[in-house]
């Protein structure tokens, strides 16, 4: 199974192949399923993948100043109101999140 970030890159380029449509809510559900499948298959997440799953939502909640939302997809939808716009916004936020992660590692 591929690295989460390679899969995300493929989804970004061709969301219809993986999600059916560019949708932040569908992407969220895909990633929950992806993490579950990896666990069921006994494949450990990489440290970077674990960091994403554990910290992306709290990071986003702090960034947006919102604490009472159940998923990062819903957080994004609070400002986008449209699934395609939320999908695009997710990848902008992911780039920002991973840039901060890389700066911390350096």
Measured from the Cβ of residue 49, the count of other Cβ atoms closer than 10 Å reads 16
More confident residue, 19 or 99: 19
Q: List the structure tokens of 43.
A: 């494949």
With beta carbons less than 8 A apart as the criterion, state whether 48 and 101 touch. Answer: yes
Mean pLDDT calculated for residue range 82-89: 97
Question: What's the total number of domains in the chain?
Answer: 1
Measured from the Cβ of residue 6, the count of other Cβ atoms closer than 10 Å reads 10
Q: Is the pLDDT of residue 102 over 80?
A: no
pLDDT band at 17 (very low <50, low <70, confident <90, very high): very high
Nearest to 79 by CA among 24, 20, 32, 26: 24
Burial call 58-73: b when 16+ CB within 10 Å, e when fewer? ebbeeeeeeeebeebb
Percent of the chain beyond pLDDT 70?
94
Q: Is the pLDDT of residue 64 over 80?
A: yes
Domain that holds residue 45: 4-105
């Amino acid at each position: 199974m591929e690295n989460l970030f390679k899969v995300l890159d493929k989804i970004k380029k061709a969301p219809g192949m993986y999600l059916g449509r560019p949708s932040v809510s569908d992407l969220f559900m895909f990633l929950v399923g992806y993490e579950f499948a990896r666990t069921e298959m006994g494949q450990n997440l990489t440290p970077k993948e674990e960091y994403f799953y554990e910290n992306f939502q709290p990071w986003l909640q702090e960034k947006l100043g919102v604490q009472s939302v159940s998923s990062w997809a819903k957080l994004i939808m609070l400002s986008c109101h449209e699934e395609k716009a939320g999908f695009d916004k997710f990848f902008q936020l992911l780039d920002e999140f991973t840039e901060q992660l890389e700066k911390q590692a350096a």
